[in-house]
Amino acid sequence: MKKHNFSAGPSVLAKEVIENTSKAVLDLNGIGLSVMEISHRGKDFQAVMDETIALFKELLNIPEGYQVLFLGGGASMQFCMIPFNLLNKKAAYLETGAWAKKAIKEAKFFGDVDLVASSSDKNFSYIPKNYSIPADADYFHITTNNTIYGTEIHEDIDSPVPLVADMSSDIFARPIDVSKYAMIYGGAQKNLGPAGATFIIVREDILGKVERQIPTMLNYQTHIEQGSMFNTPPCLPIYTCMETLRWLKKIGGVKKMQEMNKEKAELLYNEIDRNSLFNGTADLDSRSLMNICFVMNEEYKELEPEFLSFATSKGMVGLKGHRSVGGFRASTYNALPKESVKALVEAMQEFENKHKK
């Protein structure tokens, strides 16, 4: 049976990306060696790194003055690396979910944190608006997409101080104006590749301004100077990222991907709003295009386990909502085909016809 992969991460990858990666695992470009066993400093892997960075810059239209890095440790490592490198006295943070809270916790080890706004009062079901960013902050940190709660920032914010964004789960989902950001980072395992690689887009002129000494491995300048090769990078995940970016370019780039993502999200949100059994959990103007969260209406609440089993029988995986919010979560990342969303909608309709009172 065909599987429809709605997992929140590690998540669905395009079929040809998986196929091409599997070929490289057996033999990279006919050299007789696996991509997993070649030297990261050899010309064969250097070509992979160079192409991946070039595609990053091309597809996101990254201006001059920015560096693209690939490190380990996930976005969680960046939660401490960012304040280590950027926070002198005070940083500003927008609290929109669990990952933003974790980033805030780490920043507090390095200086004052100004919480400019939070949506915790309504269980992070909306993106705060009309907040003021302090002009004396060293940087302003946002999490653009909140995987657990299904909310997303859909535009590039104008910030009076350097803007830092965790885009782990919506990178390459829409065109972005990189020039508005001082730094963009995230784990690869949502829209880019398998777990293990972390991408960082950093404007060089924001570095070197903190007064503290930074350990070598945690200093962005180290990795810029060494081309992400100070230590052995996550070679196989980087290779898969390259294949994903090749695929993205071939289908029409980020603008085309945004159109496809909007179509998928509209299809599912329309059904959630129409269906008498289900209800969306995020405010309408904050709804994510990447993680669509919904629950059973109160009178049908006891049917949630049954619907999950029903969807599983139809080949759907990864639909169970995060334990902190319950219900269901359909992650509709870039590589999820529209056919999978159609299959979910049909399952919801069939289930409604069976149980509607």
Residue numbers annotated as active site? 99, 166, 190
Gap between the Cα atoms of 236 and 34, Å rounded: 10
**β-strand 163-166 against 198-203: which pairing, if any?**
unpaired
Neighbours of 327 (CB within 10 A): 21
Tokens of 339: 């056919």
CB 87 within 8 A of CB 161: no
In the three-class reduction of DSSP (H, G, I as helix; E, B as strand; rest coil), residue 352 is classed as helix
What DSSP string describes 195-264? TT-EEEEEEGGGSS--SS---GGG-HHHHHHTTT-SS---HHHHHHHHHHHHHHHHTTHHHHHHHHHHHH
Question: Which residue carries 């302003």 as its tokens?
Answer: 140
Cα angle value 42/48/52 (rounded, 5°): 145
Residue 16 vs residues 20, 21, 22, 45, 243: alpha-carbon distances, Å? 6, 8, 10, 20, 8
Cα 134–chain centre separation: 26
CB 91 within 8 A of CB 136: no
Residue 233 vs residues 40, 223, 227, 331: alpha-carbon distances, Å? 7, 10, 10, 28
User: Which residue type is seen at 26?
Assistant: L
